[in-house]
Structure 1
Amino acid sequence: MFKISSTFLLHFIHKRSLNTVSTSTLPLPSVSTIQFLTNSCGLSSGSPTSKGRKLQFDGKSIQKYEAIIGFLKSHGFENSQIAKLVSKQPSILQSKVSNNLKPKFEFLQEVGFVGPLLPKLILSNPGILIRSLDSQLKPTFFILKEILGEKGNSIKNSCGLSTESPSSAGRKLRIDEKNIQQYEAIVGFFKSHGFENSQIAKLVSRQPSILQSTVSTNLKPKFEFLQENGFVGPLLPKLILSNPGILIRSLDSQLKPTFRLIKEMLESDVKVTTAICRSTWLLTSNSKGPMRSNIDVLVSEGVPSRNIGKMIELNPRTITLNVDRMIDAVKTVKELGVEPKDRKFVLAVSAVVSRSDSAWKKKINVMKSLGWSEKEILTAFKRYPPFFNCSEEKMRDVADFCFNTAKLDPGTLIRYPVLFKYSVDKRLRPRYKVLEVLKVKNLLKNEKSAQLFFRGEREFVENYIVKHLDEIPNLMDIYRGNVASETKSVL
């Protein structure tokens, strides 16, 4: 038999609070057994133990009860635990040790429930002992094993579901004979499409109602649609794990119309796939809701479709915000003097619509603290609207580098606000060090330093590093931040 973590199945058993009952010593003679059942378990002669059967205190029955109690004690159950178990599930006293209790205990021990874990499991859900081993317990264990994988290292890797977990509106997750085949089919379907056990567990944990799906009429058509539109290989599990809601939305009334609307703007399946991968909730947005309304607002203002597509591609969240915010943002940007047909218009709208009034004012105050006038701030914004997406801390860091380290003219940031998008440590400072070395060697012609900061990476490396390696062999090390190379003389 395979071995598996004992926490694996335990996590899926519905945990119930157990009432404390009185305990007593339990010698095995008949009189003491009767006293134990009466005083500790709250049972008396005639108490119901199962359908149509009453608790009997006769010689034959007492012998049977003693055998069951003795069996539990031999498997590590203490008197108090036996009392709790019997009081919770009296029908256990009608069980047969040889062909009921013993096979179940052996199965549970074989799969890892040994020592104190065995009583703990059974006390958590006494119903285990009245369920069928072959038609309920084993199939349940195997389906959970399919979902979690053979190792089942920890509860964190599990789906976090119990037999009472909600799986869809008004329905509970039931792992019984009737549903086992359905769950197995769903798990098998996911595995056939590249999902790993851990991914299936995560998916089911986040969206239990997936287990109520029908493979042929629900999952399969959606997977085929997604694959036809570019979500193949690892992209498919990644998309669905990012937004499990995709699998519970209607294919014809939700997913397809939304996809068509996005494609209408982006004009390319590849761009649509890229945009949805960046923001997977796009696919589950209502195509007749804010997205459609916001697109209509922009179109009515004369914004070209290709520019709207660029907005969706770069900052998809803006197209799904409340339409009133979009209307206000469009009005603000037009008042700033940016024309709707200008490709910067959608960038400006995105910057405005994504910020609250208070956040906008904070950015303005940061720029003013750097010595900029409102006119200069407006000029920089119109040149490169996304610079307002920078955090206040980054704004200050870039300004500090440009003014105090690179000694750039104060007006440089206003002319080239694109500098705000670059990392000081990963781009600006490494390039500055190279340029300083080139100046010392008189190898830098009359070029403005600021413009060299936003040259393409390949162009910069080829024209300002590789080109001068004969004169300065350690120039690449300087660019990469090798401290030893930086301290060497370049003269």
Structure 2
Amino acid sequence: MLRLRGCVLTQLLSSPATSPVPHLRRLISAAAPAVSPNIGFAVEEYLVATCGLTRTQAVKASPKLSHLKSPAKPDAVLAFLAGLGLSAADVASVVAKDPLLLCAKVEKTLAPVVDGLTGLGLSRPEIAHLVSVAGEKFRCRAIIYRLHYYLALFGSSGKLLRVLDRSPYILSSNLERVVKPNAAFLRECRIGACDIAKLCVAQPRMLTSNVERVRAMAARAEGLGVPRGSRMFWRMLNALAFLREKDITAKVEYLKDTFRWSDAEVGIALCKAPMVLALSKDLLQRKSEFLISEVGLEPAYIAYRPTLPTYSLEGRLRPRYYTLKFLKENGLLDHDRDYYCAVVLPEEVFMEKFICPYKEAAPQLAEDYAAACKGEVPARFRFT
């Protein structure tokens, strides 16, 4: 019997998504008569044969479903999930995460939730994605109210789903006592709606942490010379997020030592590019050695152009330096051409300005540049 039901449900889960409700009666009648209460319902076997759980997952989940006397409710739920477009693998993952979903009432609970989410503008694939990340929260109608708020905050369902992929716990945080006060505080800091969305996509805990902790982060940002209302304020909050004060102090001192910056220069650098604080010490050390010792840049030059250390050493800083030096050494480029201006160009623009014009004079340049971007140092890029 379980094998027959499993075959029917598996076929349904693998068929193209349609409306989830119309299949229910046809599914139940096709899957054979209901199991007699006298025979009982083998939950663990059902989870393995019909839902696709591993034996270990089924053993862990089955106690939560021990009260079930027949597969009628689970069958209806599986048919509903199939109608939303979840694959068999998705269903197995969802059921393993939230076994009690199989006990939900389709008509009274799941269908109204889906209707509400559709009313918010979510597509069927987005709702299916939400089922996979929301866990038990999908069984609660309160999810509609929560998502209505978050959609307005993040600005799009795509951004919201990216946040939920990383931090589904935002669905559990108290909106009135935690999330909304944090969002209101960020607005008090004169951070625009788009930048609040960017910050909270990058750092979802900015919404779910104690508001006093968020206030403390804002005070640290101001202490580093980035005032509220500055266009860099949200970036500094992102860089400082959940770092301890002593760690921030240590990183600032490391930046001063590594790049040979004065107090004033490190302040200038952080105001222009707060994300240098988020770079590891190893990366900072290697980039400092390259920019100062090999390229020959002055510490003050870097301080006023602090995005330089944020670029990939292997993927951008080295290859573009080697290219410019090759062109200058061979008399193909003005020696006054600024390195920083070449580094910040988008890849296609760099190719257009520094590679393509020299196809005849240096036919191997494009190949050498591509090799340098992979971490190699072609012979023509080795200078004595």
The TM-score range, normalised by the shorter chain, is 0.7 to 0.9
Note closer, same or farther for the CA distance 1:197–1:267 as it changes in structure 2 (3 Å cut).
closer
Q: Residue in 1 aligned with 2:321?
A: 432
SS at 1:163's partner residue?
helix
SS at 1:288's partner residue?
helix
Residue 240 of structure 2 aligns with an amino acid whose one-letter code is V
SS at 2:199's partner residue?
helix
2:132 is aligned with 1:241: yes
Residue 94 of structure 2 aligns with an amino acid whose one-letter code is L
Give 1 or 2: higher helix fraction. Answer: 2
Residue 291 of structure 1 aligns with an amino acid whose one-letter code is V
Note closer, same or farther for the CA distance 1:174–1:452 as it changes in structure 2 (3 Å cut).
same
Q: Residue in 2 aligned with 1:340?
A: 228
Residue 300 of structure 1 aligns with an amino acid whose one-letter code is E
TM-score by length of 1: 0.61
For residues 452 and 230 of structure 1, what CA distance do their matches in structure 2 show?
A: 43
**Contact 2:224 2:270 survives alignment (8 Å):** no
Structure 1 residue ranges without an equivalent (≥5): 4-130, 165-171
2:195 is aligned with 1:307: yes
Q: Residue in 2 aligned with 1:360?
A: 248
Residue 413 of structure 1 aligns with an amino acid whose one-letter code is I
TM-score by length of 2: 0.77
For residues 66 and 273 of structure 2, what CA distance do their matches in structure 1 show?
A: 56
SS at 1:161's partner residue?
helix
Q: Residue in 1 aligned with 2:106?
A: 215
Query: Superposition pairs for residues 21-100 of structure 1, below 5 Å?
Result: none
For residues 218 and 377 of structure 2, what CA distance do their matches in structure 1 show?
A: 52
Structure 2 residue ranges without an equivalent (≥5): 4-34
1:263-313 residue CA offsets vs partner (Å, 9 max, x unmatched): 444445555455545544434433213221112223334433343233224
**Contact 2:133 2:164 survives alignment (8 Å):** no
Note closer, same or farther for the CA distance 1:296–1:2 as it changes in structure 2 (3 Å cut).
closer
Note closer, same or farther for the CA distance 1:2–1:404 as it changes in structure 2 (3 Å cut).
farther
2:204 is aligned with 1:204: no
Q: Residue in 2 aligned with 1:42?
A: none
Larger Rg: 1
Q: Shift of residue 329 of structure 1?
A: 2.2
SS at 2:207's partner residue?
helix
SS at 1:479's partner residue?
helix
Residue 443 of structure 1 aligns with an amino acid whose one-letter code is L
Indicate the percent of aligned positions where both proteins have the same amino acid: 22
Query: Superposition pairs for residues 48-447 of structure 1, below 5 Å?
Result: 135-136=39-40, 141=45, 144-148=48-52, 155=55, 158-161=57-60, 163-164=62-63, 172-174=64-66, 176=68, 178-226=69-117, 229=120, 232=123, 235-248=126-139, 250-252=140-142, 255-269=143-157, 271-277=159-165, 279-370=167-258, 371-445=260-334, 446-447=336-337
Note closer, same or farther for the CA distance 1:408–1:292 as it changes in structure 2 (3 Å cut).
same
Residue 465 of structure 1 aligns with an amino acid whose one-letter code is I
1:361-390 residue CA offsets vs partner (Å, 9 max, x unmatched): 331232133122332222111111122122
**Contact 1:290 1:320 survives alignment (8 Å):** yes
1:133-184 residue CA offsets vs partner (Å, 9 max, x unmatched): 9944678645532211xxx8x647x5453532xxxxxxx31275x3411111
For residues 113 and 37 of structure 2, what CA distance do their matches in structure 1 show?
A: 36
Q: Shift of residue 189 of structure 1?
A: 1.9
Residue 96 of structure 2 aligns with an amino acid whose one-letter code is S
Residue 354 of structure 1 aligns with an amino acid whose one-letter code is F
SS at 1:362's partner residue?
helix
SS at 1:411's partner residue?
helix
Aligned residues: 348
Residue 50 of structure 2 aligns with an amino acid whose one-letter code is E
**Contact 1:380 1:417 survives alignment (8 Å):** yes
Residue 208 of structure 2 aligns with an amino acid whose one-letter code is T
Note closer, same or farther for the CA distance 1:132–1:267 as it changes in structure 2 (3 Å cut).
closer
**Contact 1:258 1:286 survives alignment (8 Å):** no
**Contact 1:325 1:353 survives alignment (8 Å):** no
2:367 is aligned with 1:463: no
Note closer, same or farther for the CA distance 1:279–1:142 as it changes in structure 2 (3 Å cut).
closer
For residues 442 and 336 of structure 1, what CA distance do their matches in structure 2 show?
A: 44
**Contact 2:2 2:50 survives alignment (8 Å):** no
SS at 2:51's partner residue?
helix
